[in-house]
Amino acid sequence: MSASRDDFGIAIRSALLKKGARQKFSLFFLIVISTLIFFLDSIKFTAIDITRSFLRDGIYRASSIASSPIRFAKYSGDKIKIHFSIYNENKILKEELDRLKNKDLDFEFLSSKNRNLQKLIETDAEIVEETVLAKVLLDKDSPFLKSIIINKGKNSQIQKGMPVVDGNYLVGKTVEVNYLSSRVLLLNDLNSRIPVTLEPDATQAILVGNAERNPVLEYLPEFFEAEEGKTVFTSGKDGIFPAGIPVGKIFLEENVAKVKLFSDPNQISFLNIVLTNTNEVESF
Amino acid sequence: MAILYKNLKLKTLSLGPLILLYFLSITEIDTQFSNYFEILSFNLQLIIVYYWVMKDPSILGNGHIFFAGIINDVIMGLPMGLSALGYLITALVAMYIRSVTVKMTFLQTGLLLF
């Protein structure tokens, strides 16, 4: 038994400390360094923050270059797929066109919706801010984390917590800002929580990311029955997002109210960062 | 000349796993295949580290494993050092198994299997 314990000790010691012919560092040394970096990462210290920011900028750029052949292959594959599916698409589009032609537009509903939207825009008059156009550098898929890297950072006056839109539709907010790049937390990320309002009766709810394509509506009023097709806007109650940014349409899946986002998080190439004042956000 | 060419070819081939490890860490390829399987998820980098440390530890240097982990953390937005630690622990386990398989007892085989 003691011989077995000795063998175990020798094996562990050998695995940890043996460097081998081509190894420059022992595993033990590197494990200690990794643990140290892991703890240093959580410390808010200017020198560490600057180093971290420059390291991230460099790696993001290198990653963007390294990913370009893959992106090109994906793009070519998509183009070929689109080319082959064009016949079916045409058939579907014709059917949809017929359906739309036959649809009787409810003018009253539309005008009521318009009135409500006008109200939202009026309350929002002072939040019409300048935006910065940014390109998506990286969009790495992960089972839980849904975020993208954009090519604008502190050099373009971007700050942590700024809302990010694709056209007129909300995409997420900035959660990490480096000098030349930033990370945008998408609405379907597990950590995303956005206060929203449902038109036309201005019901308040929280849009919760679930790491899937369509986020869920939570904290709805008691006995509230969600109706499919209602439009969801940001409510601006948190003081982070301006009110009235369209987010998506409600649909029901197994009696759970989900939101089909207007902007598909997997198809974003360019987006705008709304340069809001985030001082309140930081304190929030 | 032939020996030189053969050596060069061998060196280039031996760099393959290292290049693959860096490539998977730095690019936006989904190495966890989260979109393909409903409940199954595995990490390609960990498999590479485990396999090559078991097969030939001189091909994947410890320093390279550590650096690939740091790159992966930055790209994935994870706390820095977390993936590096994971890869190094995987390398440690692989190295340990490699060491004990030389003179393995029946008990150790059982423990490793379960």
Residues 67 through 96 of chain A touching chain B, CB cutoff 8 Å: 67, 70-71
Residue range A188-202: mean pLDDT, rounded: 84
Residue range A68-79: mean pLDDT, rounded: 86
**B74–A139 CB contact, under 8 Å:** no
Site of tokens 């959660």: A175
Lowest mean pLDDT among A190-199, A221-230, B2-11: B2-11
Provide the pLDDT confidence category of residue A247 given band limits of 50, 70 and 90: confident
Q: Which pLDDT score, from 0 to 100, does residue A284 have?
A: 38
**B57–A20 CB contact, under 8 Å:** yes
Taking CB atoms and an 8 Å cutoff, what residues of chain A touch B41?
143
Provide the pLDDT confidence category of residue B89 given band limits of 50, 70 and 90: very high
Token digits of residue A59:
């790696």
Chain B CB within 8 Å of residue A49 CB? no
> Distance between CA atoms of A131 and A165, rounded to whole angstroms?
9
Lowest mean pLDDT among A65-74, A123-132, A186-195, A234-243: A123-132
Query: Which value does ipTM take for this structure?
Result: 0.74
> Distance between CA atoms of A187 and A74, rounded to whole angstroms?
24
10 Å CB burial of residue A81 (0-12, 13-18, 19+) is exposed
> Distance between CA atoms of A88 and B80, rounded to whole angstroms?
47
| Residues paired with residue B59 on neighbouring β-strands, in sequence order | none
Angle at A158 between CA A155 and CA A161, to 5 degrees: 155
**Residue among B57, B76, B98 minimizing CB distance to A142:** B76
- Comparing A31 with A4, the larger pLDDT belongs to A31
Instruction: Decide if pLDDT at A282 tops 60.
Output: no
Maximum distance among all Cα pairs of chain B, rounded to whole angstroms: 53
Angle at B51 between CA B46 and CA B52, to 5 degrees: 105
Provide the pLDDT confidence category of residue B112 given band limits of 50, 70 and 90: low
Residue range B16-26: mean pLDDT, rounded: 88
* Percent helix, strand and coil across chain A, each to the nearest 5: 40, 25, 35
pTM reported for the whole predicted model: 0.64
Share of chain A above pLDDT 70, in %: 79
Taking CB atoms and an 8 Å cutoff, what residues of chain A touch B61?
22-25
Instruction: Decide if pLDDT at A256 tops 50.
Output: yes
> Distance between CA atoms of A163 and A159, rounded to whole angstroms?
10
Phi/psi for A205 (5° steps) reads: -155, 175
Q: Which pLDDT score, from 0 to 100, does residue A234 have?
A: 86
Q: Which pLDDT score, from 0 to 100, does residue B88 have?
A: 92
A195 preceded by a cis bond (ω within 30 of 0): no
Q: Which pLDDT score, from 0 to 100, does residue A280 have?
A: 46
**A41–B107 CB contact, under 8 Å:** no
Encode A108-136: b = buried (16+ Cβ within 10 Å), e = exposed. Answer: eeeeeeeebbeebeeebeebeeebbebeb
CB A172 within 8 A of CB A192: yes
Instruction: Decide if pLDDT at B11 tops 80.
Output: no
